[in-house]
Amino acid sequence: MNANEAAPDSATDGVRMWLVERTYSDDEQNMVILTYATPDGERYFRKERSLTSFTDVRDTTAAVDAPPSNVGTVDDPDDRERYAAEATRMANAHDPDDVI
């Protein structure tokens, strides 16, 4: 299997997703939204994290294995292309457990 394939993790049956975007929420203070996508850009997974303090350390990894029930479809062609490019770049540059 190459870096451009969305691999299910045999231990968890998750879908391998690569970090493609990190944004701060406009609606909630101290909220970070992490977006992960498959290397083909067709599926995405979002994680929301509350930043409760400066000492609150939670690692963000290059990839996650997302539960299939929590994976969405990327409908916008521009987003799909952008996610595909960034997910592929991350997959080629990092191991899944690399802290970003």
Return the C-alpha torsion angle 65, 56, 100, 4, nearest 10.
10
Percent of the chain with pLDDT over 70: 80
Task: Give yes or no for a contact between 90 and 62, defined as CB atoms under 8 angstroms apart.
Answer: yes
Mean pLDDT to the nearest integer, 49-57: 69
Asked if residue 28 belongs to a domain, the reply is yes
Q: Which residue has the higher pLDDT, 1 or 71?
A: 71
Q: Which domain holds residue 41?
A: 15-93
Asked if residue 2 belongs to a domain, the reply is no
State the total domains in the chain: 1
Asked if residue 100 belongs to a domain, the reply is no
DSSP 29: T
Asked if residue 50 belongs to a domain, the reply is yes
Q: With a threshold of 0.85, does the pTM exceed it?
A: no
Asked if residue 33 belongs to a domain, the reply is yes
